[in-house]
Amino acid sequence: MATKIIYFTVNGRPEQAEFPVDCSAQDVKDLFRSAAEAGPHDILKLYNPKGNIINISLSLEPNSPDCCYKLEVVAADCNSEPLGAELAGALGYDLSSLEKSSLLVCGLRLQGLEKNILMEAGETPAAVYEMKKQVESFQEKLESVEHLSWLGLFKDLSEGSHKPSPFYHKRTLHKTRAECEHVREKFLQMSSLEMSEEVRQYLKTPTFDNWQWEDAEIMVLLQVMYTDLDFIVSFNIEPEVLQQFLFEVYRRYNNIPFHNFKHCFCVTQMMYGLIWLTDLKSKMDAVDLLVMLTSALCHDLDHTGYNNAYQINARTDLALRYNDISPLENHHCAVAFEILEKTESNIFRNLSMDQYKRIREGIIKCILATDMTRHNEVLNQFKSILPTFDLTNKDHRDVLMMVLIKVSDISNEARPMEVAEPWLDCLLQEFYNQSDKEKLEGLPITPFMDRDKVTKPSSQTGFIRFVLLPLFIELANLFPCLEQHLIDPVRKALDYYTEMEKALEREKQNRAQSDSAVKSPQSAALPEAGPEASEPEPQ
């Protein structure tokens, strides 16, 4: 029997499908679905080597391993209106669950329904044909490049977050080329879509939930920030250059638990929200706003998950290169300007030399301020100028910009607990990884990272009380409107972790008392039964 062999990749993994040339179209689709390990509710999208979507059908042209198709699996989650109420009465089938499902699920169930009807009645009623037509029409719309709303830009935000595991389970520290190209392709497909007004307004709030969004979608959201702050027009930034810049930034964040691309987005989104909440758009020069947003975006580029203390103690290349002076932050700056040195990703390429010089100086100052060893220095500077703070004073503005990026960088606890707590899990995982490495290499162990000594609540109570609140309170003294957005949620977080810490301490004490009772020589000498069991025997 003549067969056809098709070579393709699934998430970068090479696969091949072999099927008879006279098999059914459904058999072909089932074969691809099996190879992709796709669920029954997933949409399959097949791309030819040119990147165009093509049908999965018998007419697929045979190819070679060097000229693969690319198969993509997309989880379907598109709710539809109830369909075919009249069909239930006509056929005597209970379609209530069908009506509550998505159109795609309807299509799958409809196939089974049609088979049952054919077996029992011998023919398919017209109502079934009509339903099939509606389902196929909608699915065709979903799978076309022109209708990408299902990818998330028009999410039903009222449904809350659907969090993935917060940890990155990747084999490589750096993103693979296949991983990057997959995200880049999605981003470019979505980049021209119109963002809903609901999402635009939500993006300006500290309550924004990052866990709802994929990396490609996050890049679209970042593009919206640059557009809505009028940077595109004010600084003559070409859209394709901004897109390339955002992609290069995405590419240079590593697959580590905390200091990854999603963290970069959270910091940038908080900075964006603070700009709108404090009305800085009307109070500060656009160049300063551009510096703040871009600094937030680039502030942890190429972070490897090990802090400055480790870099210095381990005498890494970074520590040697920057003479133990903020090695990570200096590196983040350097990587940012490596990206900006490339013409195709230089969003500042149409600015004057004086503008570029000012922006470069501002970005370096902001990113270096995120070194936590400088926390008290920056905070004290800010406190000293607060009584006479003047936005027209450049020195005052510079300190404010440093404070704003610091606040944005450590702002997770100002977010709703369901958003913030997974980030703490990520941070602790990164801390524990470092202390494990320090123990293995015989280096000084960073105290607040030791998995044998640090608990979830103990890591937060001191940090919130002595680092977060003093900084946030000073910023709220300048902008009272931030009291409800920053101070209130952080105080609630402190109460939450204080109670958790007390509960753990009580549990620890109970366990210690229990262990003590078991190990006590007196308890070991107690009689097994009888009324005298409450008194120990004389020693």
CA distance 108 to 364: 55
β-bridge pairing 3-10 and 69-75: parallel
Helix (H, G, I), strand (E, B) or coil at 246: helix
Return the number of other C-beta atoms located less than 10 Å from residue 477's C-beta: 15
Nearest CA-CA partner of 414 in 478, 335, 469: 469
The single-letter DSSP state of residue 279 is T
State how far the alpha carbon of 527 is from the alpha carbons of 48, 474, 521, 534, 537, in Å. Answer: 81, 64, 12, 9, 8
CA distance 209 to 216: 16
Helix (H, G, I), strand (E, B) or coil at 361: helix
CA distance 27 to 482: 59
- Is the Cα dihedral 371, 375, 381, 387 positive or negative? positive
Contact 207, 412 (CB under 8 A): no
CA distance 447 to 462: 13
Sequence-ordered list of residues with C-beta below 8 angstroms from that of 1, at least 6 positions apart, any chain: 20, 22
The single-letter DSSP state of residue 442 is T
Run of H or E residues at 426: helix 417-441
- Is the Cα dihedral 76, 261, 339, 237 positive or negative? positive
β-bridge pairing 42-47 and 13-20: unpaired
State how far the alpha carbon of 420 is from the alpha carbons of 290, 298, 416, 417, in Å. Answer: 27, 21, 6, 5
Given the residues 169, 174, 259, 485, select the one marked as catalytic: 259
Contact 427, 435 (CB under 8 A): no
Decide if 259 is catalytic: yes
Give the residue carrying structure tokens 């499902």: 101
CA distance 161 to 209: 7
Q: Which residues are catalytic?
A: 259
